[in-house]
Amino acid sequence: MTASTPEPNRYAESRRRAYPGVALLFVLLAGLLWWMVLPGNPYPAAPVVGTFLSWLVLLAAVPLLRRVPRRRLGAVIIAGTVALGLIALSAPPRTSNDSARYAWDGIVQKAGISPYSHVPIDETLKELRPEWLFLPGSTTAGGTPVCSPGLFGTDSVAAYNFPSNEPLCTAINRPHVPTIYPPTAELYFFAVRAGVPDSVGYLPFQLAGLLLGAAVTVMLLRLLARRGQPLQLAAVWGWSPFLQLEGVNNAHVDLLGGALILAAGMLIVGGRPLRSGVSFGAAVATKLIPVIAAPALLFHRPVRFIAAASGTFVLLYVPYLAVAGAGVLGFLPGYLKEEGYSEREGIRFGLAQLVSNGQWPPVLSAAALAVVALAVLLRTGNDNVWDQQTVMIGLTLLIVSPNYPWYALMLLPFIVLSRRWEYVGIILALDIIYMVPKEEPQAAMINQGVLLVAAAAVAAGAWLRRRREIRQTACSALLSPATP
């Protein structure tokens, strides 16, 4: 009689030991997230420090999830996504007040008014203003409008009412300009606010973000199962601090655009170019930036795809065009200028600024994007669409270097599916650019430094992957029988 433990029992024991480890790491994730979104947190760097610590904890948690039985793993990951989401929505938006504009656009539409017709400071819509978005302001001795900090739980903006010129405090950023958001976003804003009183604050959009994030988790689990890949990889999305902070707590509409892009990819892989085009057109009509995903979706019946996408985009705009005309452009032209896309300095095109100056950074960046898009267009097929989508979206964000990390909400699902983990470095770089306070001239140096580190990580990942492929090809050639 042997004293050794049978192999099945060892395997079962290993699984049982995994549960306490997973639970402990999940509690750490939950605690860090609570600390990140805690109202009145005296530590201003909590969001960025908590983000990096959470990624480290997640790095340890995902391998342990492998020991959870596969039949239960999906439920565990979805339950964790929801539980973390509930923590994220327990506090007002921590690092962005964009959802205040979402709410106002939804409230205006509920009243039967186009969101493109009036700016928030316009007193024409004064009767619609809820107190959690608007309050009377005051002025300094010099006549400058001022607001108390933390007045709305997020940043407050001091402005003047129009046309009375009375001081006003609002939670809406850029209250003197019309909305920037395209029609899919506006329909989403209306749908989220339609069933709740105007007095209800940020919670509806945070709850919608939780539901969208969980839906993407389910989509990832389905795709991973279909491809025979480890299901625990879906936790890199669902349990990530990035989803919970930017998608749920801050409730960015980019999450909707990312979900639609992922759906478009699933449909094109399934041989449904028309439905994929519809989903893609709706994604582009959410925030325009999803158009960068197009090159990796044109490998199957591109004419049908483009027709469906274009038709969907136009049809979504028709109702708003009929009411507001050219006003549907909103603040878009001014936004592009304000954010530096038409300028030659700032963090935009940060990598190109390392090798050029003056008018050349935008030109070099455009040329680099054209090369990337052409390469993706030529290489993408049914078997590598997720890899190519990661490359297309990731390199675009790296080259353009936007100031807002939540643009990458449409990147992370493709990182999970492609397992190109080096692209997470781009998300972290954008987090640092946005959340770490900096002053010139150090700001430009730090911003370009983190972009360079992210670029090096992507390059290293590509080199290691190519090296592995060459070795595998060589081994296959050696092992295959010689042809007579």
Distance CA 302, CA 309 (A): 10
Average pLDDT value for residue range 59-72: 93
* Nearest alpha carbon to residue 92 among 219, 205, 1: 205
The DSSP bridge partners found for residue 160 are 167
Mean pLDDT computed over every residue of the chain: 90
Q: Tell me the C-alpha distance between 479 and 394, whole Å.
A: 36
Q: Which two tokens stand for residue 423?
A: 């692209």
What is the C-alpha separation between 94 and 245, in angstroms, rounded?
8
What pLDDT does 90 receive? 95
Instruction: Tell me the range of 91-95, 324-328, 435-439 where mean pLDDT is highest.
Output: 91-95
**Bridge partner list, 168:** 136, 159
Give me 406's structure tokens: 């939540």
pLDDT band at 347; cut points 50, 70, 90: low
* pLDDT higher than threshold 80 for residue 94: yes
First-residue to last-residue Cα distance in the chain? 54
Amino acid at 448: Q
Whether pLDDT at 1 is above 50:
no
In this prediction the pTM is: 0.92
Tell me what the mean pLDDT of segment 84-105 comes to: 96
Contact by Cβ (8 Å): 170, 162? no
Q: 3 versus 446: which is more confidently predicted? A: 446
Classify each residue of 111-122 as buried b or exposed e, where b means 16 or more C-beta atoms within 10 Å of its C-beta: eebbbbbbbbbe
The pLDDT value given to residue 437 = 81
Token pair for residue 411?
């990147």
> What pLDDT, on a 0 to 100 scale, did the predictor assign at position 478?
73
Distance from C-alpha of 145 to C-alpha of 140, rounded to nearest angstrom: 6
Residues 232, 27, 98, CA angle at the centre, nearest 5°? 80
Burial category of 151 from C-beta neighbours within 10 Å (exposed 0-12, middle 13-18, buried 19 and up): middle
Closest by CA to 41, choosing from 104, 94, 109, is: 94
pLDDT (tens digit per residue) in 267-283: 999 999 999 999 999 99
Looking only at the bridges linking them, the beta strands covering 167-170 and 138-139 are unpaired
What is the chain's length? 484
Cα-based distances in Å from 4 to 7, 10, 42, 67, 430: 9, 10, 55, 22, 52
| C-alpha span between 142 and 234 (Å, rounded) | 55
20 vs 107, which has greater pLDDT?
A: 107
Query: Would you kindly state where each structural domain of the chain is located, as residue ranges?
Result: 98-194, 340-475
pLDDT for 356 equals 85
Q: Which amino acid is at 234?
A: A
Q: What is the 3 state secondary structure string of the chain? A: CCCCCCHHHHHHHHHHHHHHHHHHHHHHHHHHHHHHHCCCCCCCCHHHHHHHHHHHHHHHHHHHHCCCCHHHHHHHHHHHHHHHHHHHCCCCCCCCCHHHHHHHHHHHHHCCCCCCCCCCCEHHHHHHCCCCCEEECEECCCCCEECCCCCCCCCCEEEECECCCCEEEECCCCCCCCCCCCHHHHHHHHHHHHCCCCCCCCHHHHHHHHHHHHHHHHHHHHHHHHCCCCHHHHHHHHCCHHHHHHHHHCCCCHHHHHHHHHHHHHHHHCCCHHHHHHHHHHHHHHHCHHHHHHHHHCCCCHHHHHHHHHHHHHHHHHHHHHHHHHHHHCCHHHHHHHCCCCCCCCCCCCCHHHCCCCCHHHHHHHHHHHHHHHHHHHHCCCCCHHHHHHHHHHHHHHHHCCCCHHHHHHCHHHHHHHCCHHHHHHHHHHHHHHHCCCCCCHHHHHHHHHHHHHHHHHHHHHHHHHHHHHHHHHHHHHHCCCCC
Could you count the other beta carbons within 10 Å of the beta carbon of residue 363?
Answer: 14
Q: Residue with structure tokens 């170019």? A: 273
Average pLDDT on 356-383 reads 93
Report, as an integer, the average pLDDT of 344-361. Answer: 80
The reply to whether omega before 163 is within 30° of 0 (cis) is yes
pLDDT exceeds cutoff 50 at 366 = yes
